[in-house]
Structure 1
Amino acid sequence: MKPYKVLVVDDSAFMRKIISDLIENDANFQVTATASNGREAIEKVNQLSPDLVTMDVEMPEMNGLEALKIIMAQRPLPVIMLSGINEQGMKETIMALESGAFDFIRKPSISNSQDIIAVGESLREQMKEAMMAREQREARASASKSEDKPPAAVIPKPLADTPLRKQELPKKAKAAEVPGTSARDKLKPEAKTASPKETGKNLLDKQPGNSGSPRNPVKPTAAPVTPASSEKAKNRSKANATPVTPDVRLQLDGVPGTFVEPPAASADRKSGSTKGLRKLVAVGCSTGGPRALKAFLENIPAEFPAPIVIVQHMPPNFTKSLAQRLNTFSPLEVAEAEHGMILRQGAAYIAPGGYHLKVIPAAGGQYAIELTSEDARNGHRPSVDMMFESLLPLTTLERHAVIMTGMGSDGARMMKSLYDSGVTSTFAESEETCVVYGMPRSAVELNCVKHILPLHEIAPRLVQAVK
């Protein structure tokens, strides 16, 4: 088989050389050309028809985001973004994922050989997944054309639409075989974040905004309200945090900490209830997740009677940009989760990169977020399995679990445990809309999914199930 052709785009000649060398460490890929800006990238995509593009986000003349939009409109193909860790680069990376980029990696530190190696492994893994996903889509399209009917989801339509009792599930729902799929489980896990394992005390010390010691916490103060710049801003008053009553304290390893107020409720949502919480939604996703989360959260109403906790596989810092971006689209209040936040109806919380997110009981019938730096699970931190596992003992809550697009199988095993324990409902995105049908497929094959739906149907059906 001929190697896949790759176009490398970066304004730095040195970085183009590093990325090209990392790519060609795998004989299945060959760098056939390079480009120094977005305009040149568009020309070479049209001239050379590469199989895949790696695209720097920030470049002169035409940046990667602008080039991506034109490429996806003219000649769609897998594009992997290379992002710096500055604020502008992270924001544009999130926008690129919304605009159709397959995934992204952060640029390696050129002074750290181990970092270059780790980035190379991650890049090659994403490239393999991108090619497998493309071949899978082409196989589905070919089969559909030959049968003169639209592509079918892995599960027949009646099953996708109707909640099932356990005994009604098929013995095994298998996705179509894709060349190279068996190698997925052998891929190396992501490199661990550098932060060492911490105790509850150290974790509290290191959280943003907690400048006081855990024993003498500094009460957060209300953030100033900025002038309204959109219809959403006109209808709500935001505050980052408000003081909490003394009876709301979290015990971690014997160290008392401070609960942090969740995002402020909309002005017309009078209760913004945190007490007597009865329902909870947990969502996991990976490759293709930012785009899926946008489509999902846009269709959840502001008065949704449950908090939503989310794990999206992403490095540190990028999750904050993702939360800020999603908050501009969603009727809900979307924020990056902080340690000790009280869960509130009508709000969504995204696990910060580098920390596992768990849901734990708190005083007064409330529930809170616990962030931990335990070892990665399934190669990830945050891990969907870790979040789902924390829901197992919360039997007084009506729990709903959702798995959307992503490579690997993170979340499937614990969704099965939740299903077996009698969780209220489980959802998985169907193959037809997944960027990568990995995590949902693993859950479907464990026979633990009650609703298998295309992306645009998940939110409306979830709202029905929760209400």
Structure 2
Amino acid sequence: MKPYKVLVVDDSAFMRKIISDLIEQDQNFQVTATAANGREALDKVNRLSPDLVTMDVEMPEMNGLEALKILMAEHPLPVIMVSGINEEGMKETILALEWGAFDFIRKPSISSSQDITAVGESLREQMNEAMLARQQREARASALKAPPVQETAHPPAAQAKGSASSPGTSRSGPGMSPAASGLPARGKPELRQLPERKVLPEGKTTQQPEVARKPLKPAAEPVKPRASKETRKAAAQPPAAPSQPQAPAAASRRAGGLSKLVAVGCSTGGPRALKALLENIPADFPAPVVIVQHMPPNFTKSLAQRLNTFSPLEVAEAEQGMILRQGAAYIAPGGFHIEVVPATGGQYALALTKEEARNGHRPSVDVLFESLIPLTALERHAVIMTGMGSDGARMMKALYDSGVTSTFAESEETCVVYGMPRSAVELQCVKYILPLQEIAPRLVQAVK
């Protein structure tokens, strides 16, 4: 098998050498060219047609963001961003993921061989994920063009289930299955078709379908966006007050307590998926949303700030002891597990822990979901979206078996990597298997 061709883009010759050496430790990949800025990178992509690009974020003449935007429009291919850990670099990395980058790694510390090794493992894993995801997309595309008889010709394979990812910069990790960590033959993509199972929802999930209508966007207010959201939320509350039908839930809310909660887990491709989800949930959403996105420390704060500019909800990086509120979303900080725990007065709070990584991750979706199992006084709704591995699937199954209100998984057609959702679907614990654009409206309908 011919190795995959990689273009390495960085303005530092020393960093180009480090990244190239890390890439070529995997014989499935070969660095065929390097470039010192975005403009040079675009020229070499057009001439050499690489399979994958690693792209520095901050460069002279044309930076990584500008080059990425042009690449995605004219020559889409997997791009892994290489980000500095300064604030500007982190913000631009979040933008890059939103604009189509497959994933990112942080730049290794050149003074630490241990750090260089860890970043290299993460990079090689992401490259394998990217190529596998491309093969799966090509397989789906060819299956759609093939005669209908093809549908029964390929039984489902179980590649992504059980793969896990490494802590730190990677979104999937050390316990990967052979099919995910080793690369399948280029000419033999695995075609895996899973029928869309939709178990009939309980009666409560179909009430008030009109509420799923997308709200008007709040006006941009860079200095105090939260004040604007608070004002709008206060304005949205009065119409709901006279409503009597759901007496217990209403009484609980008046007493300061919560009656509903949404938990979301995602990994590779998650920032774009979260944007699509959160910008379509209204400000008067009657539940907090607690989110685990596999991401290293510091980057989650930039992600929360970015999502806060889009969503009618208040989006923030979670902190220890925060009391959960309706109309707010909380993103687990990188490097910490997040749990929901009971607090006084019928309220619920967030607890952050530094316990061992679960499924190779900290934060882990399984840890979040597991914390919801004893909270039977709450209507609990669990969502798994795009990501490599199986984090979240096992505890979604436990939630499902314990009588959770609803469970959602993103369908294969819109996933960047169909690993975590597939694992949940295979455990038969998903009520709604939906393309990304349909998750928010159905979730709003189920919760309201």
Q: TM-score, normalised by structure 1?
A: 0.78
The alpha carbon displacement at 1:268 in A equals 1.8
Equivalent of 2:233 in 250, 263, 266: 266
State the one-letter code of the partner of 1:27: Q
**Partner residue of 2:114?**
114
Task: Tell me which residue corresponds to 1:17.
Answer: 17
Task: Give the match for residue 168 of structure 1.
Answer: none
One of 335, 346, 352 as aligned partner of 1:365: 346
Letter in 1 for 2:258: L
1:81 aligns to what SS in structure 2?
A: strand
Matching of residue 70 in structure 1 with residue 74 in structure 2? no
Partner of 1:380: 361
Aligned to 1:307: 288
List per-residue Cα deviations over 1:153-173 (Å, max 9, x = no partner).
x9xxxxxxxxxxxxxxxxxxx
1:430 maps to a residue whose letter is S
Secondary structure of the structure 2 residue equivalent to 1:302? coil
Tell me if the contact between 2:106 and 2:169 (Cα under 8 Å) persists in the aligned partners. Answer: no
8 Å CA contact 1:263–1:335 kept in 2: the answer is no
SS of structure 1 residue aligned to 2:81: strand
Cα 1:41/1:143, change in 2 over 3 Å: same
Residue type of the alignment partner of 2:233: S
Aligned counterpart, 2:179: none
Matched residue count: 386
Q: How many Å apart are 1:177 and its aligned residue? A: 3.6
Q: CA deviation at 1:462?
A: 0.4
DSSP 3-state at the match of 2:233: coil
Which structure is higher in RCO with an 8 Å CA cutoff and minimum separation 6? 2
After TM superposition, the runs of 4+ consecutive aligned structure 1 residues lying more than 2 A away are 174-178, 184-193, 236-240, 262-267, 269-274
Summarize the alignment of residues 178-257 of structure 1 with structure 2, pairs less than 5 Å apart: 181=159, 185=162, 189-191=166-168, 231-233=219-221, 238=226
Contact 2:163 2:388 (8 Å CA) reproduced: no
Give the AA of the match of 1:238: R
Q: Alignment partner of 1:266: what SS? A: helix
2:247 aligned residue: none
1:66/1:379 Cα in 2 relative to 1: closer, same or farther (>3 Å)?
A: same
Specify the alignment match of 2:250 in structure 1.
none
Aligned-partner Cα distance in 2 for 1:187–1:432: 22
CA contact (8 A) 2:83 2:104 kept: yes
What is the one-letter code of the residue matched to 2:100?
G
TM-score (norm 2): 0.82
Corresponding residue number in structure 2 for 1:417: 398
Q: CA deviation at 1:263?
A: 8.3
CA distance in 1, matches of 2:163, 2:375: 34
Counterpart AA for 2:301 = K
Cα deviation digits, residues 132-167 of structure 1 (max 9, x gap): 000000011011111379x99x9xxxxxxxxxxxxx
Question: Structure 2: 5+ residue runs without aligned partners?
Answer: 171-217, 241-252
Superposed displacement of residue 275, structure 1: 1.6
- Distance in 2 of aligned mates of 1:295 and 1:237: 19
1:336 aligns with 2:324: no
1:382 maps to a residue whose letter is P
Equivalent position of 1:454 in the other structure: 435
Q: Distance in 2 between matches of 1:263 and 1:358?
A: 25
- Structure 1 position 6, deviation (Å): 0.2
Q: Which amino acid aligns with 2:235?
A: D
Gap change, CA 1:308 and 1:70, over 3 Å in 2: same
Contact 1:288/1:435 (<8 A) preserved:
yes
Aligned residues of 1:265 and 1:333 also touching (Cα < 8 A): no
Contact 2:164 2:388 in 1 (8 A): no
Deviations 1:21-46 (A, max 9, x none): 00000000000000000011111111
* Native 8 Å contact 1:263 1:334 kept in 2: no
